[in-house]
Amino acid sequence: MTAKEDSCMKEFRPARTPRIVGVIGGMGPLATVDFMQQLVELSPSLSDQEHIPAIVAQIPQIPDRVGAILRATESPLPQLTESLRRLERAGADFIVMPCNTAHYWHKDLAAATDLPFIHIVDSVLEVLAERGLKPDAPVGLLATPATFAAGIYANRPDNGSALQFVAPTESEIQEFVIPAIGLVKAGRVQDAGILIQECVHRLRARGLEYIVLGCTELPMALKAVGVAIEDGYIDSTAALAKAAIKAALPTPDLPQDPTLSHL
């Protein structure tokens, strides 16, 4: 590199280095890739050097989260903890996990590390608050049966609002949501989008203005059939990416908080 080129590169380097996000991934692999893409696309960066540094544990060999919650099959906690340890050893400054259902084990994982661990539901609630919803507003929620059964959204302890999360009917979950999630995991994203679009149509017919895509497979499915994930949706993957960017970027007017204790 010439001296002139080196000088130009230095002009674009941020004065303060962003914190490194550690990503517990693989649930599923496409959802992790989507999170990383959104982490890049939503960043206010103008050069390579200004983007958010990330370390990803893309380890898909994690036992089924739905089965563990609903049928007491093998717990994924040991494998999730191993991914967490990989990220700690690699130098992550804080942790995210782009899988809603896996947040059933968030408390255990957060207790097992000194690193801050952003909760995906908190990220979604922050976006909902920005939309100016009334405190008791009904909000549609598309998620796995285990996410509903575990109350991952409804029972979030830090949920200061009284938002009413409205699920599809049991038959709609069985007919549309579960097959759509499975199709994304199998790489048939457009087929999944056709199914989930019908489920959304039914929720809209019940007067639900906002719908939370509370499974990180679902935003990809809708985008694959041309649905714009904009005002009427809250994409949990995008919400988590925005929270990660906020946590990673140094605040220019305030001293850095290395503990990120506000998360």
**Could you give the residue numbers annotated as active site?**
99, 215
Whether 235 contacts 141, CB under 8 Å:
no
φ, ψ at 94 (rounded to 5°): -155, 170
Identify the CA nearest to 258 among candidates 86, 94, 112.
94
- What residues pair up with 246 in beta bridges, in sequence order? none
Find out whether 206 and 164 touch, Cβ atoms under 8 Å.
Answer: no
Cβ neighbours for 237, distance < 8 A, ≥ 6 positions apart: 31, 34, 35, 38, 98, 213, 216, 219
| DSSP per residue, 73-113 | ---SHHHHHHHHHHHHHHT-SEEE---SGGGGGHHHHHHT-
Residue of 166, 160, 170 whose CA lies nearest to 122: 160
How far apart CA 113 and CA 95 sit, in angstroms, is 10
CA quadruple 32, 37, 42, 48: dihedral sign: positive
Looking up tokens 């908190």 gives 122
Radius of gyration of the chain (CA): 19
